[in-house]
Amino acid sequence: MDCLWHYDSPLGPMTLAGDGTSLTGLWFDDQKYFGSTLSRERKEAFLPVFRETVRWLDLYFEGHDPGFLPPVRISTTPFRQSVLEAMSRIPYGMTATYGQVAAAVAKEHGRKSMSAQAVGQAVGRNPICLIIPCHRVIAADGSLTGYAGGLCRKRSLLLLEGVSVPDR
């Protein structure tokens, strides 16, 4: 059973999901693929991991690198797990291209290359936005593309982190 809690962020309402010990989901309520990893059985409950997550979110939306991560657990395919891990290594205030993430995943799997499009699909289905920073993945030309929470939010998140972003 998933436990859920709601957070009012400056960029819109968000839903947190947890299994009792770990954060298993974090979405903007209107984003694409919202709740894609949730079980059918759910209840509202404020878990200890949500206290840590809310503290992380509060610091983040104040414009700070929180400096810690709440415990996270994701059940997904090995490929998507590799993509999520590669994204997790993109530091606060920095970006990486889909091609760079693909190269990191390819290297981890002992391959010469990996499809940036396949990586893009995995990035788009990230079940824990912000904490696993899919908003930091950009196109090779530096443009903002492919954010399930909307490009306006992606832009706002990057600006919050001090990243220079191209004009719309």
pLDDT bin (cut points 50, 70, 90) of residue 5 is very high
* Segment 51-107, tens digit of pLDDT: 999 999 999 999 999 999 999 999 888 999 999 999 999 999 999 999 999 999 999
- What is the predicted pLDDT for the residue at 41? 86
Residue 66's pLDDT is what?
97
pTM of the full structure: 0.92
**pLDDT above 80 (res 167):** no
Mean pLDDT of 24-46: 87
Mean pLDDT of the chain, nearest integer: 92
Q: Give the pLDDT band of residue 18 (cuts 50, 70, 90).
A: very high
CB–CB of 151/159 below 8 Å? no
Average pLDDT value for residue range 139-167: 91
- All residues at 6 or more sequence positions from 45 whose CB lies less than 8 Å from its CB, including other chains: 3, 4, 5
One-character DSSP codes across 98-164:
HHHHHHHHHHHTT-S---HHHHHHHHHT-SBTTTS-GGGEE-TTS-----TT-HHHHHHHHHHTT--
Partner residues linked to 97 by β-bridges = 138
Is 129 tagged catalytic?
no
- Region of 14 (left: φ > 0; alpha: ψ -120 to 50; beta: rest) is beta
β-pairing verdict for 137-138 and 96-97:
parallel
Give me the torsion for CA of 151, 83, 70, 152, rounded to 10°: 0
Give me the catalytic one of 3, 129, 134, 152: 134
Given this model, what pLDDT does residue 68 score? Answer: 96
Residue 168's pLDDT is: 61
